[in-house]
Amino acid sequence: MIEAIAGSAFADSLSAAGAAKPGPASGFENVLTQLEKSENSLGTLLNDVATGQAGSLHQVMLKMEETRMQFELFMQARNKVLEAYQEVMRMQV
Q: What confidence score (pLDDT) does residue 18 get? A: 45
How far, CA to CA in Å, does 35 sit from each of 39, 77, 91?
A: 6, 13, 33
Helix, strand, coil percent content, the chain, rounded in steps of 5: 80, 0, 20
Residue 84's pLDDT is: 94
Helices (H) and strands (E) in the chain, counts: 4, 0
Which tens digit of pLDDT belongs to each residue from 26-77?
888 888 899 999 999 989 988 888 888 877 888 888 989 999 999 999 999 9
Average pLDDT over residues 10-36: 70
C-alpha dist (Å) from residue 45 to 53, 63, 75, 82: 9, 9, 24, 33
11 or 36: which carries more pLDDT confidence?
36
Q: Highest-confidence range of 1-5, 84-88, 89-93, by mean pLDDT?
A: 84-88
